[in-house]
Structure 1
Amino acid sequence: MESSRKLRADAQENRDRILTAARQLFAERGLGVGMREVARRAEVGPATLYRRFPTRRALIDEAFAVELGLCGDIVETGCADPDPWRGFADVVERLTVLNASNRGFVDAFMAVEQPEDVFAEHRSRLLTMLTLLARRAQAQGRLRADFIIDDLVLVLIAGRGLATVGADTRDVAARRFAMLAVDAFRHQDANVPH
C-alpha cells in the first residue's frame, strides 16, 4: 500500500514538472516548442510525458487552463461593468497585459479550431460577449462606429510582440500599448478619459 501511494505521488510530481516546464517554454518561445524539449526541461523521459499527456493538444490545453480562466474572468468583469466604454477599455488593457506575459497563450487561443478544442469553445463565447459589449459602447457613443470585433483580435495578435520586451518593462509596455489601442478605438467626438 505504501509503495502504491509513493508511485502516485511520483506520478503527480512528474505531471506537475511537465506542466511547469511546458508553461515556461510556451511563455518564453511560443507553441513551436517540441514535446521532447518539454520532457528535457521537466527532467522526465518522453514516455513519461506521453503517458501523462498523450497528445500535444492535451498538454497545451492543460498548460493554459489558468490563463484561459483568467481571460474569461477579465471579459466577464468588463461585460458586467455598467459603463460599457469603461468595461471595454478595461478588457483591452487587462487582456493585453495577460497576453504580453505569455507568447504561447495568444497563439493557442487564436489557433485554427481543432476537433474537441477547449480554446475554440471559450474563444467563441468570449468573442460573442465582447461583441455585445462593443455594441453597447457604440450605442453609448464612446466606441468608434466602424469598430468590429476583428479589430480587437488584431490588437491582441499584434500584442504578442510584447512578450519579447524585457520582463522588467513588459508590464509598462503592455499598458502603454493598450492605452494607445483604446485611444484608437475611441469615437472621435468622445474626448473624455477612459
Structure 2
Amino acid sequence: MTPDTSRTAMERPLRRDAERNRQRIITSAREVFRERGMDTTLDDVAHHAGLGVGTVYRRFPNKEHLVEAMFADRLEDIGRLMSESLDNPDPWQALQDFLWAAAALIAEDRGLHDVMLSTAFGHDKVAMARDKLIPLAHEMVCRAKRAGKLREDFEAEDMPMLFKMIGAAAEYTHRVAPQQWRRYAALLIDSLRAETGKPSPLPVSALDTVDVRDVMDHWCR
C-alpha cells in the first residue's frame, strides 16, 4: 500500500464518523430547539446528543451555523406547502389548508416558530427561504379576496401576527393540553371569512376551571 493509499484509507472512516456526528447533532438540535426555541445553546445540544461540547463546536462554530443547517430546509418545505396550496382551484380552501398546516408546524416546534417569525435568527439561506414566502402569501390572500371568500381588510402581512397568536396559545397550554391551540386557531381562521354564517365547529373543547388553573400553574415553570 502506497503512502497516499494508506492516508486515504485512514481518512475515509474519519469522514464517515464526522458526518455521523454532524447528523447526530442536527437530529438532537431539532429535538431541543423544538421544545425550547432559540433559548437553546450549543452546550444544550451537546448534552442532549451525548457528545462533547468540543465535537459540536467543531461542526458548528456558533448557533447561527446550526440554525442555518436546521431551518433553511424547513422554510423551503413551507414554501412548497404554499405552492401546493395554490394549486387548489378553491382559493379559500387553499388559504385555509395552508394556515392550518403552518399553524401546526409552528405550534409544535418553538424553534421553527422563532425562525419563521423573526429576522433575528438565521441569515443567508434561512433569510432567502423566508423571503420567498412573502410573494406566495400575497398571492394566496389576493386569490381568496377576488373569490369573495376572504374579508377585504385582511392582508398577507397579518399572517405573522396570526401565527404568533397561535404560537403563544400553544406555548401557554402545551404542558396541560398540547392540542388546545387548535381551538383558538379555528376561532381565528373562521374570523377571516368574508361571508357571515354558521360558525365552523371547534375541534377541541374549552378548558374547564381546573384545567385553566393547571395551565396557569405550569406556565413559565
Q: Give the structure-2-normalised TM-score.
A: 0.76
8 Å Cα contact 2:173-2:181 kept in structure 1: no
Larger Rg: 2
Quote the RMSD (CA, aligned, Å).
2.5
Q: Counterpart of 2:217?
A: none
Alignment partner, residue 143 of structure 2: 136
Cα deviations across residues 70-109 of structure 1 (Å, max 9, x unaligned)? Answer: 3122111112211111100111011011111101101012
Stretches of 4+ aligned residues off by more than 6 angstroms: 190-193
Q: Deviations over 1:50-80 (max 9, x none)?
A: 2211231110121224422331221111122
Q: Does 1:122 align with 2:107?
A: no
Q: 2:32 aligned with 1:25, yes or no? A: yes
Q: Give the alignment partner of residue 113 of structure 2, picking from 101, 106, 116.
A: 106
Q: Does 1:48 align with 2:30?
A: no
Query: SS of 1:138's equivalent?
Result: helix
SS across alignment from 2:180? helix
Compared CA separation, residues 4 and 168, structure 1 to 2 (3 A): farther
Cα 1:45/1:115, change in 2 over 3 Å: closer
Q: Which residue of 1 aligns with 2:166?
A: 159
180, 187, 191: which one pairs with 2:187?
180
Q: What residue in structure 1 maps to residue 77 of structure 2? A: 70
Alignment: residue pair count: 192
Alpha-carbon distance change, 174 to 117 in structure 1, aligned in 2, over 3 angstroms: farther
**How far off its partner does 1:165 sit?**
4.3
Structure 2 unpaired stretches of 5+:
1-7, 201-221
| 8 Å contact from structure 2 (residues 78, 102) kept in 1 | yes
Q: CA deviation at 1:25?
A: 0.8
The Cα shift of 1:136 comes to: 1.2
Aligned partners of 2:188, 2:122: CA distance in 1, in Å? 33
Structure 1: which 5+ residue stretches go unaligned? none
